[in-house]
Structure 1
Amino acid sequence: MRTLSIRWDTVHRHGEAWISHHRLRYRMFVERQGWSVPHYECMEYDQFDTPAATYILVVDEHDQAVGTARLIPTTRPYMVESLWPNLVESPLPHSDQIWEASRFGCDRALGAGRRRRVIGQLIQACQEFGVTQGITSFLAVMPSWVFQNVIAAHGCPVQPLGPAMSLHGHATEAATIQVSRAVLDLVRARTGLRQALKEAEQLQVGPASLSPALLGDDVPEREQDHRTLAAMSRLVDVP
């Protein structure tokens, strides 16, 4: 499986991957989650799919997307600011160094092992992209257990920004995910991947640690791996 970084001005290089990612989002958010979001001919989209967005996609050997994440600079309109500002108690960011991560998820048709690999590739690719762009953190809205048992378990420090609320049946919160070379090293140690994105995929688009301790430093690595895999096996797709 390959990991791609795609923007509107590079869609022509990855046409099938691009279209299939909108179909994957339809399956994840409309069919599975039952969200009331825009869609057309089994493709999901929203008002934040603009030329400012960068898409991190994991694709199979047929260029079909099996994992997706969308990254948007907070200098442009973004989801948390527009839809859930009440989840953030501090001033909302507007900075080239803070981007929003959204539409994060993977194809539930995959087996548990492949889902684990896809999620690891997405998390690592987002860190690699962030480091090359001078990003210091991602802002995201996710179920609290996803922050703890998936994102944090891959070595990315998470900082909650406000109270949790019930969203789609889950306790959901806004938080920042730290981005740095040190965090990237932790993620690589967890995934075993030297590189998720090829250098050519690390597009220059702007100016240029979730910690295992969040699960408890005293949790044995094998038990921590078990918790991470169990969390991924029930991973819900997130905004």
Structure 2
Amino acid sequence: MLHVVTSQTKDSHSAMLGEAFQLRHRVFVEEKGWSDLRRADGRETDRFDDEHAVHMVYIEAGKVIGYQRLLPTTRPHLLSEVMPELCEGERPVGANIWEWTRYCVEPAYRERGRMLSPVANALLSGIVEWGLDTGVGTIVIEMNPLWLLRLVQLHFRVTPLGVPHLINGEETVAVTAKFDERTLGRLRETRSASSAAVAASTLREPRPSNHVGR
């Protein structure tokens, strides 16, 4: 089941988030080789893991096996602060536009070939369910261009923001991906399920403020 963790519930989910940050370290530091993120405690965190971030943690049999983070574009985020070169025109900003970052899945639960794994499907479904519930309809993604076709097949409406750049040894392109009820229907169809991916008890928790402060 997928759990949504915000600043209001962070303290009560500290153990879950701790495991999620360890998963991030294994994937981005140990597997992908992003050595500048290495930490002695084996937990990958950055300055964007603040009170405005929304964390989504996938748990199966009591173990964290999937994770992703959403950041409001009305505040500093990766595209605005770390990879601005990926956006060639006006940067997408708005209360209904959030950035999707730090997506990661334990190796044993990833897709093999073209099919989306159940965990990956649940994570994407979680974004759409949360977005439809909170008024968010667009996500900004910095990703490998190979994901473009997959997102389109899942009924996201994808628009590149620029050409790919080589970042950390990997081709990366920034896009916006819009979604609606049709996207959610397609995701549920591909996993042969009609139920929600996000735990109902966490979906309607208050989300962090979008307000831009000085």
Task: Give the TM interval when normalised to the shorter protein.
Answer: 0.7 to 0.9
CA deviation after TM superposition for structure 1 residue 172, in Å: 1.2
Q: Are the equivalent residues in 1 in contact too, given 2:24–2:102 (CA < 8 A)?
A: yes
- 2:206 paired residue among 204, 207, 210: 204
What is the CA deviation profile of residues 164-223 of structure 1, one whole-angstrom value per residue up to 9, with x for unaligned ones?
112233321000111222222222222223210132221332689xxxxxxxxxxxxxxx
**Which residue of 2 is the match for residue 45 of structure 1?**
45
Higher mean C-alpha displacement, 187-196 vs 136-145: 187-196
Q: Higher helix proportion, which one? A: 1
Q: Are the equivalent residues in 2 in contact too, given 1:142–1:173 (CA < 8 A)?
A: yes
- Using structure 1 for the length normalisation, give the TM-score: 0.79
Q: Distance between the aligned counterparts of 2:149 and 2:49, measured in 1?
A: 27
Q: Determine what percentage of the aligned residue pairs are the same residue.
A: 24
**Which residue of 1 is the match for residue 183 of structure 2?**
183
Q: Are the equivalent residues in 2 in contact too, given 1:67–1:122 (CA < 8 A)?
A: yes
CA deviation after TM superposition for structure 1 residue 109, in Å: 3.4
- Using structure 2 for the length normalisation, give the TM-score: 0.87
AA paired with 2:132? V
Q: Distance between the aligned counterparts of 1:161 and 1:154, measured in 2?
A: 20
4+ residue segments displaced more than 3 Å: 109-113
Question: What does residue range 67-86 of structure 1 map to in structure 2 within 5 Å?
Answer: 67-86=66-85
Structure 1 unaligned segments of length 5 or more: list them: 209-239
**Which residue of 2 is the match for residue 144 of structure 1?**
145
CA deviation after TM superposition for structure 1 residue 146, in Å: 2.2
CA deviation after TM superposition for structure 1 residue 144, in Å: 0.4
Question: What does residue range 1-239 of structure 1 map to in structure 2 within 5 Å?
Answer: 2-35=1-34, 36-37=36-37, 39-62=39-62, 64-110=63-109, 112=111, 116-149=117-150, 151-194=151-194, 195-202=196-203, 203-205=205-207
CA RMSD of aligned residues (A): 2.2
AA paired with 1:205? R
Higher mean C-alpha displacement, 187-196 vs 156-165: 187-196
Higher relative contact order (CA 8 A, sep 6+): 2
206 and 192 in structure 1: CA distance in 2 versus 1, 3 angstrom threshold: farther
Q: Distance between the aligned counterparts of 1:89 and 1:75, measured in 2?
A: 18
Q: Distance between the aligned counterparts of 1:95 and 1:206, measured in 2?
A: 14
Indicate the SS of the match to 1:127.
helix
AA paired with 1:147? L
Q: Distance between the aligned counterparts of 2:109 and 2:77, measured in 1?
A: 30
Q: Are the equivalent residues in 1 in contact too, given 2:7–2:208 (CA < 8 A)?
A: no
AA paired with 2:86? L
